[in-house]
Each structure stands twice: as C-alpha cells, then as structure tokens.
Structure 1
Amino acid sequence: MNSVSLDSLLQTINDPKKKVDAIIAYLEEPENRYLENVADYANRAFIISQQNNYMKGNIQAMIKLGNYYFRSSDYKKAMEFAQKAKVMSEDLNLKIELANSLNLIGTIYSELDDYDHSSQYLFMSLKLFEKLKDKKGISSLLGKIGIDFYSQQDYNKALEYYNNSLKLAKEINSLSSIKTAYNNIAVVYQYQKKYDTAIIALREALAINIKLGDRLSQGINIMNIGYDQMNNGKLDDALQSFQQSLDLFTGLNNRIHMAECYLNFGYCYQAMNQIDKSIDYFKKALYEGQNKGYYRIISPSAKSLTQIYTEKRDTVSAFKYVVLEKLAGDSLFASKQQKLLSKFELQYLYEKKEFERHQAQQVKNIIMWIIILSLVAVLIIFGLVISRYRLKSKFVILEKEKIELEKENIELEKEKLQSELDIKDRELTVHLISLIKKNEMLADFSDKLALFEQNVKSNETKVVLTQIGQELRKNIDDKMLEDFSLRFQEVHAGFYEKLLKDYPDLTQNELKLSAFLRLNMTTKEISELTGQRFATIDQSRHRLRIKLGISNSETNLVVFLANIKCN
C-alpha cells in the first residue's frame, strides 16, 4: 500500500481508533519504514490516539516517532518517546508495546556505544518476546544483540547471535528478518577478510530484496558485493557491481549512496592504476559530499586525492585537499564528540529518571506499607473488639446462667422449705386435733371423776378425788400448751419475737391466742383446746385487738396475724 492508498482508506474510516490502527499497520510494512513521510503519519496517529484516549495506539505511535528520530540521529527525542512508551506500556501491562519500547531504548544506547545499557534493555526486550513466543521479535533482538558483540569486536559471539536470528527468521519465513540476518553475517565476514563467504551471504540477501522489490536494498547489497570483489582482487567484477548499484541509486536519486559508489569506483581504478579515472570519481564523490554535507564521504575522498596529488608532486592541489580533509575530519570529530555528548546527556537523563522513579517507588512503598500496617492495626483492633465482645457476651451468658441456676436453687430451696413447712403445718394440725381429742377425753374423764366424787360418802375420799382431778387437769393443760408452743415455733419461727418486738405489752396468754388465731382456729376449737368458755375467749380477742391497735378498724384479726412476717 502506498501513501495515496492509505489516505483514501483513512477517508472511509470513521472510527478514530481504527484510523490509528490503519496508520500503524502501514508503517509496520518493511518497505514503508524509511519513507520521508513516516514522521507525518506517525505524528498524525499520535495526535488522533491522544485526542481519543486510545492509549495502545498512542504508545505504538510514540514508538514509530522514536524510530524516526533515531534514524534522523536525534537521539534525545528518540529516547524521550521510547521512555514515555515504556512507562505507559508498564502501567497498562501491554507486553508487546513494552518489548518494542525496550528494543528501541537498547538500540539507541547501542548507537551511542553505551553497550552496558544497550545489552540491559535488549535482553529485557528479548525475554519479553520469548515469553510472548513472538519469533519475529526474538529474531530481531538476536540480531541487535549480535550487533553489540560485533561493535565490541567479539566476532564469534556476533556470528552466533546472527545465525540464531537467521535460523528463527527462516522458521517463520520472515523475508525482511532473513535478509537483515544475511547482511549482518556478511559484515562480520568482511571484517574477517573472508570475502567469498561474505559475498555468499550478500547474494542471499540480494535475492530476497529482488523478491520484495526493494531497489534501495538491492543497490546496497550489490555495492557491498563489489566492495568484497575489489578487496578479493576481482577488480573487473567489482566495477561491474559498482555500475549496477550506481544505476539503481541514480534511478532512486539517492545521492549519498551514489557518492559511496563514486568513492568505490575511485578505489577500484586506483587499484588498477588508472589514476585519471580514479581522480574523476573521487572528485564526483567529493562534490556530492560537499553538496549534501556528507563528511564521511568528503574525508576519504579528500584523503585519496591528497595522496594522489602528493605522489604527482602537485603540492598546490595536495594542500587544497589536505585542508578539505582536515575540515571534514574536524567535522567528523565534532560529530563524534556530539555523539559522545548525546551519550552522556542520555545517561544523565536516564540516571535522573531512574533516581526519580526510584524515589517515587520508595514513596509508593512507604504509602503502601502505611496502608498495610493501618489495615493490620484496624484488623487487630477489630479482632480484639470482637474477641472482647465475645468474651463479654460469654461472661454475660455465664452470669445469666449462674443467676438462673441460683434462682432455680432458690426456688428449689423455697419449694423444699415450703414442703417442710407444709409437712410441719400438717403435723401441727394433726397434733392440734390430737390435743383436742385428748382434751375431750380428759374433760370426759374429769366429768366422770366429779360424778364419782359426788357419790362417794367419805370426805377424805372426796378430797383426794378432787385433788387428783385438779392435778391431772393442770398437768395435762400445761404439757399440752407447752407441746403446742414448741411445735408452733418450729412452723412459725420468730412469730412470738416479732409480736413482742412490735407489741411488747402482750401477755403469754395473748401470745398463745395470737398463735391460735394465726392458725385460723375458731373460738370453738380454741375453747376445746384450752377449756375456756366462748365468752372468755371473745373478751380475750377484744383485748388483743386493742393492744394490736386495730380495735377501731374493720381489719380482720386473723388476717392481720397471718400477714405478720416472721424472721
């Protein structure tokens, strides 16, 4: 898809998120990664995603912008986008985007020759791609790690990673990854001066680029093949390769690669001792370099021309190109210094951000621990409150059970006492009945004795019988009343004491009458028990009411006495 097709497609899409996805997909295509309008499309995706709060698309757009600024050698901007993408990916737990942002950060550090940080981020990215089982991502990372080893002149290790990258790329048939791996392998063999082996790898890459229709990469492959042929002494083949690549670059109007071809033509003709032709091509290379400010073209071109004119003893021309070489060298040195400065600046920014991140994390950790400890404290307090409440509830239940048990015991005791009292009351009643019966018998016996006394003629006998009758009645009455008092006291303990305490003027007979009345005995029953006449008993009742202070009221004497509480 070309840019015109993309613009037409975007006009038909209404959903902003789908627009962003379409732009990102377009920029993902290998043939579109190096277009001049990459930044415009990436920035468009960035703005749309930001306006519509499409965070995933926003991160992907930032990674594209980071890659663009990296290729433009604006490492500071590239790192800013890469770092922002990394932080957002971590916050949103977007694994693919995080792996790509780490990959970009590592690549930037690698370009700045900061291999410690480069390897750190590249291996982090590799680990993520391995977890995601993204073979294309793994292949790409293996190649970049290989570049780090190559830059540190560990060529065997570099080849190991390049070959692993190539193997994986072939498994997934990723043509772009395969050709990249072949190009990387060729560079190592070139440095090791194994030019034939390097050419084999380059021809593999060239075949893929022809298949993909990538004319720029085809030109680069053919130019590198020509370089290896030249170094291998195959100068005619090299000239042929340089011409093929120059034709491709001219068709693309790629001035820097055209300048590189001119430079290689110059080297080749110089090796063939065709000095005039070599001078022409070195001057062409120098011209392109000066027009575009390609110091890496100006410096070797001026150096070669200085060497040729020195050998020709043309000191004026030699001096002219020495000056150009020196200026270009200074510019290259300044560029290297700028690169070094960028490295230090990025390292400073990295350390600053890491310090800020570390501090922020510490604050988060402190807050988290405060929250955790607070929650633990609340839980402990809550647990203690619940425990105390349960203990208190249990204690209250036990106390209640204890009180209930005591009540039951008291009730049982009361029932027992009441039962005993009822028994004694019945015994007292039975005893009273018995006493009344005995009294009736004695009265009958006394009457018979009196009748017998009337029929006896002897005065002495009458006197004796009279004394016997009186003594018998007296002893029986005293014993009967004493026995009654004892039994009454057992049943109604404290009754006499309470009466005497409240009414100290009561006589013994009045106390006994009170006892009879408390037992709800009738006048007849009292008479039968004591042998008193009804009138005497009624008089005694009247006197008792007076002493008890109820003579002028309608209070029932029996009820009054029954209500007296004993101790």
Structure 2
Amino acid sequence: MLIPILALTVFQASAQDIIKLDSLQLVVKQAKTDTARFRALIDLSHLYFSTDYVKSMEYAIQAKDLATAKDLKKHELTALTQMGNVAIAQGDYKQAATLFFNSLKEYEELKDTSGIISMNNNLGASYDRMGEYDKALECYFTAQELMNASNLTERKKVVLPTVYNNIANIYQTKGDPKSALAYYEKALKLALEVPNHKAQGIAYNNIGKLYANELNEPDKALDYLMKGLEFREKIGDLGEIARSLIILSNFHLNQKDLAKSEEYSKRALEIGNKIGSMDIKRAAFLGLSEIEEKRGNYSAALSNFKNFKTYSDSILNQQATSEITRLQLQYDFEKAEKLREEEAKQSRFKYLSTIAALSIGLILAVLITLVIRSKARQTELSQKNLAQDVEIKNKELTTNVMYLIRKNELINNVAERLLKIQRNLLPENQKIIQEIILDLQREGDNDTWKEFELRFNQVHSEFYTNLRKLYPDLSPTEEKLCAFLRLNMNSKEIAAVTQQSIKSVEVARARLRKKLNLTNTNSNLVTHLANI
C-alpha cells in the first residue's frame, strides 16, 4: 500500500517541478538584474535539494560566484548557507562546518541576529553529526537564547521548532528521554500552529523513535512514525522521505517483521542513489545487512555491510573534527581581538581616571596602613602575624591574577603577529606556524589555571571543600568560575584569564546561578560564593 502512495507523491511533485525548473532556468538566462538572476539560481538549488544534491550544490555555487563577483554580501551569505545545507545532507560535515563558520563571522560583522541564530543552529547540526554532543548542545542553546531575546516574532514560529527538535535529539542521544520528549512535544506544538509541514514531519518521526527505543511503546511509536512519513510525502522532499523509511525499517526490524523492514530499506536505498546521499545509502545498507544476518544469509549480510563500511569511511573523515576545532580556535581568537580593539578605543579616558584614582587610593592606603600598624602594636603577636600573612597572600593572589591576565594578552599578541607573518610564508612553513599558535594557546591555558589554582588554595584552602559538599554536581569548569567570582573578578577580567569572550562568560554565569538554585531570587552570585 505504501509504495504506490510514495510513487504518486513523487510523480506529482516532479510534474510541478518541471514547470518550475523551466521557468527558473528561463529567468537565469533572461534576468535583467543580478538580484533576479541570483534569486532564480538559489530557487533552483532549493528545488533540486529535494531530488538531487549534486545539482543543488552546482546551482548554489553558481549563485555564490555571482554574488561574490557583484559584491552582493548578503546574497553571498545566503548562497554559502545553502551550500552548507547541501554538504551536510551529503554527509560532508567538514565542508559544511567550514561554510557555516565563515558565514557566522560575516553575520556577526553585519550584526544580523537572524543569520547568527541560523548559523549557530547549523553548526550545532555539524557537531551533532560528528558526535560532539556537548558542543552541539551549546550551539543549540545559544540559538534558542538569541531567538527568545529577539523581536523576530514570526521567525520564532519557524525556527524554534527546528531548534527544539535538535536539542531533543541531543538529550535522546545522551540517554535523557524525559527531557527529549518535552522538547519534541514543544517542537510539534509550534510546528502545528504555524503550520510547518517539514517541522511536523521531523517532530512526528523523532517522537516515534523515542517511543520505539527508549520508552518501549511500539503501538504509539508506529502511529507517530507513519504520520511523520505522511507529512514528508506531502512536501515531496525525497531526502526526508528516505530518512523516514530508514526509521521505519529499523522499527520493523526490532519488531522482527523482516519483510517490512527490507521493503523500507530498499525504498530508502533507491532514493539515496537517486539524490546522491551517502548518508542515506550508508543507513540503508546497514539495515539490509542486519536483516540478512537475522535470516541467516551471512554472505548477503557481509556484502551489504561492506557497502555500509565504504560509505561510512567516506563520511567519517578523521580530519573533520580537527578542522572544526581549528576553525573554532581561529574564530574565537579573531572575535576576542576585535572586542579588545573596540574596548581599547573606549577605555583611554577611563584608564587615566583609574590611574588617578589608584594613586589617591594608594596614598590613602599608605596612611591607613600607618594608622593600622600603630594600633596593631597593641595586639598580641600571634594575631598580628596571622593578619599580615593573610594580607600578604591576598596581595600575592591579586598580583598573580593580574600577571596571568597580562601573560595571556602577550600570548594572544604573539599569536596574532604569527598569523600575520604566516600569510607570507611557504605552505610547509605555514603549517609550522599554525602548530606554534596552537601550542601557545594550549600552554597558556594549562599554565594559567595551574598557577592560579595553586595560589588560590594557599589563601582559600577550604573553599573547594565546602563548595563540593554543597554542590557536588558542579563541573571542573564551573568550579573554576566559582573561584574567579570568589575573588570578586568581573566578567572582563575572567574573560582575559580564560581566553573566552565576555559574552561566553556572562552565559556561563547565568547557567551557574541556575545550578546554585539562585534563579528567581534576589541573592547576589558573588556574595553567595563569598559566604561559602
């Protein structure tokens, strides 16, 4: 029953697409403006995205080349994003991540909130596919926070279902079905309100997988999975249809209905061959291998598994993770440098005022110290020594923190100068320079924390012990942030020590408040930590 419905759906969509294709190709040839020609090329890429990834990428590249030649910056970013979407659908996560990173930097230059949100979501998808689940979740939460804080009311209805689905995927992968189901249901509710058939199809499929695997309710699972396939057939996106078929094949395999499972896997493989998706073909061959193994046909199982392995090796490029890490480092470095440059321009007057205030404060401190010393002579010798010891250690700790800040600034300055020199060197020397930059970053981070922690424990020896008793679930990174806040350091100073952006520190502080149960209270985070 399902095969005729799928064939009818694809045939109708193809007949409509032929008319659209002819019309758009005519516009490309006869367009009087560059914008009209660009829009036609992008529309062609979107149209082929449902049926042929190779052609979809070709038209996206043509659109990007046109926008670059005519200096149409926003159009160029639209084309780069589409190229990234096609790449991730093909299973080329390295190329996708590169395109999304480059686009994110440009959108931040333009202060385009909508673009920044989209790129964070897309980068999260790249991390997700490569198994970097914590980084993926961080990107998704960033997209969610930016979207909720924006005034993009109508866009929220379209984007948030996708973000919620992605967050739920991560929770499901990390073994938290309760949180996953909550986010899936939020995604489905929003998708039904818009309505957004694509988001509906994704949400139905994901809820079906959750009921089938983690919640062990096969009847509910099949109902949701069939609804997901129905919505995907309505929009005629072959890639999404194939992914639904893969999920249904796995479901029937687990229910020991091998005939149904084989039917769905073969239909998915046919679509994967048609649209050129390595990811879909890999999943289909894995399903067929498992089916034949269940039947005892080990020769056929091995043949299908070899095909699965071939496509897996193509997709899981070992350089992908290192490439995205390099891009992340470069992106964070450039972002921090720009922030420092802007702050430097605004802080000259503040700097002079601070020097004057410090000078006056120093004089007052000297006078106060003289008075205190005069009175201190009347106290017991043991109390005097203890007070002086604590004071000296606190001063040493403060001095050490300032030294670490200057040290990190020096490391970043050296790294920047090396980057400038790198462009003029031979390729083999460029790699050496890049390795030096990475070593500087790593050594800077390690030495900074070890030195700080040593000094901190000398002054506040019981702080970590008390903190871990009260909050045993804090991560090492969150314990570090607590230590900095215990010293009453502001976000700018913490960012300088940890080599993060100020915004990242602010987000981390907000999450720490929640973990310390201070949300929706009037308690001050710094004051709270000072009392531990």
Match of 1:152 among 174, 191, 195: 174
1:171 Cα shift?
0.7
**1:294 match: secondary structure:** helix
Q: Percent identity, aligned pairs only?
A: 18
Report the TM-score, using the length of structure 1 for normalisation. 0.51
User: Which residue number in structure 2 is paired with residue 357 of structure 1?
Assistant: 335
Cα distance between partner residues in 2 of 1:7 and 1:352: 39
Q: Is 1:8 aligned to 2:63, yes or no?
A: no
The answer to whether 1:61 aligns with 2:79 is: yes
SS of 2:256 mapped into structure 1: coil
Partner of 1:282: 301
Q: Say if 1:251 and 1:137 are closer, same or farther in 2 by CA, change over 3 A.
A: closer
Q: Does structure 2 conserve the Cα–Cα contact (< 8 Å) formed by 1:60 and 1:97?
A: no
Residue 268 of structure 1 and its aligned partner are, at CA, apart by 4.2
Q: What residue number does 1:486 align with?
A: none
Cα deviation digits, residues 367-423 of structure 1 (max 9, x gap): 23337889xxxxxxxxxxxxxxxxxxxxxxxxxxxxxxxxxxxxxxxxxxxxxxxxx
CA distance in 1, matches of 2:121, 2:292: 42
State the match for 2:227 in structure 1: 204
The aligned residue for residue 507 of structure 2 is: none
Report the counterpart of residue 119 of structure 2 in structure 1: 101
Residue-pair matches, total: 330
Aligned letter for 1:294? Y
For residues 281 and 190 of structure 1, do their structure 2 counterparts lie closer, same or farther at Cα, with a shift above 3 Å needed? farther
**Greater length-normalized contact order (CA 8 Å, ≥ 6 residues apart):** 2
- The reply to whether residue 19 of structure 1 matches residue 41 of structure 2 is no
Residue 523 (structure 1) aligns with: none
Q: Could you say what the CA RMSD is over the residues aligned between the two structures, in angstroms?
A: 3.5
Q: Is the 8 A contact 1:166 1:182 kept in 2?
A: yes
Task: Find the counterpart in structure 2 of residue 138 from structure 1.
Answer: 160
Contact 2:80 2:100 in 1 (8 A): yes
Deviation string, structure 1 residues 67-122 (Cα, Å, up to 9, x no partner): 23334444444333222222222222322222212222222222233333322222
Gaps of 5+ in 1: 296-330, 375-567
Q: Give the match for residue 110 of structure 1.
A: 128
Q: Which amino acid aligns with 1:51?
A: A
1:527-538 aligned within 5 A? none
How much has 1:254 moved relative to structure 2? 7.5
Helix, strand or coil: the match of 2:347?
A: helix
Aligned 8 A contact 1:262 1:282 in 2: no
Aligned residue type for 2:218: Y
Q: Deviations over 1:444-490 (max 9, x none)?
A: xxxxxxxxxxxxxxxxxxxxxxxxxxxxxxxxxxxxxxxxxxxxxxx
Q: Tell me which residue corresponds to 2:324.
A: 346
Q: CA deviation at 1:20?
A: 2.0
Specify the SS of the correspondent of 1:14.
coil
- Is 1:294–2:311 an aligned residue pair? yes
* Change in CA separation of 1:95 and 1:253 when aligned onto 2, cut-off 3 Å: closer
Query: How far apart are residue 230 of structure 1 and its match?
Result: 3.1
Check the 8 A contact 2:281/2:311 in 1, yes or no: no
Aligned partner of 1:42 among 41, 55, 60: 60
The aligned counterpart of 2:199 is 177
The CA deviation at 1:177 is 1.0
Q: Which has the larger radius of gyration?
A: 1
SS of 1:36's equivalent? helix
**Would you say the 8 A contact 1:66–1:79 is kept in 2?**
yes
CA distance in 2, matches of 1:231, 1:350: 40
Query: Contact 2:48–2:55 at 8 Å: present in 1 too?
Result: no
Any conservation in 1 of the 2:50–2:239 contact (CA below 8 Å)?
Answer: no
Work out whether 1:129 is the aligned partner of 2:129: no
SS of match in other structure, 1:189:
helix
Q: Once the 2 structures are TM-superposed, how far is the Cα of residue 256 of structure 1 from its aligned partner?
A: 7.5
TM-score (norm 2): 0.54
Deviation at 1:140, TM superposition (A): 0.8
Per-residue deviation at 1:204? 0.2
Q: Which amino acid aligns with 2:311?
A: Y
Instruction: Write the distance in 2 (CA, Å) between the matches of 1:167 and 1:177.
Output: 10
| 1:30-52 deviations in Å (ceiling 9; x for gaps) | 95486212222222222221222
Distance in 2 (CA, whole Å) between partners of 1:237 and 1:72 is 26
